[in-house]
Amino acid sequence: MNAAGNYEIPKLLTLSEVSDTLRVTYWRVAELARKGAIPGVVRIGRHVRVRQDALAEFIRDGGFRLPGGWRRRPPEQAEGAA
């Protein structure tokens, strides 16, 4: 709510707009949204949108880390393959 007591509708971004902002592929954003890794996801029927304020806070807070860091495979698989 704003100072006048009215509810402010947050701006909703498409997954394409989010992918442009994060500089990752559309499909990666769709996967992260489906897994719940991106906050502020709003589903309207089959359409998926992301609240701009939630995305801004997510970026400001540093996002999230994947287990294992940047590696494509978990360490135990990488060592076993050698």
Write out pLDDT tens, residues 16-31. Answer: 999 999 999 999 999 9
Q: What is the pLDDT of residue 73?
A: 57
Polymer length in residues for the chain: 82
Q: Which two tokens stand for residue 36?
A: 């719940």
User: Domain boundaries in the chain?
Assistant: 7-63
Name residue 19's amino acid.
S
Residues contacting residue 7 through CB under 8 Å, at least 6 positions apart: 1
Q: What is the pLDDT of residue 66?
A: 66
Q: What is the pLDDT of residue 63?
A: 85
Write out pLDDT tens, residues 6-62. Answer: 788 889 999 999 999 999 999 999 999 999 999 999 999 999 999 999 999 999 998
Q: What is the pLDDT of residue 56?
A: 95
Closest Cα to residue 19, out of 57, 61, 48, 62? 48
Q: What is the pLDDT of residue 74?
A: 53
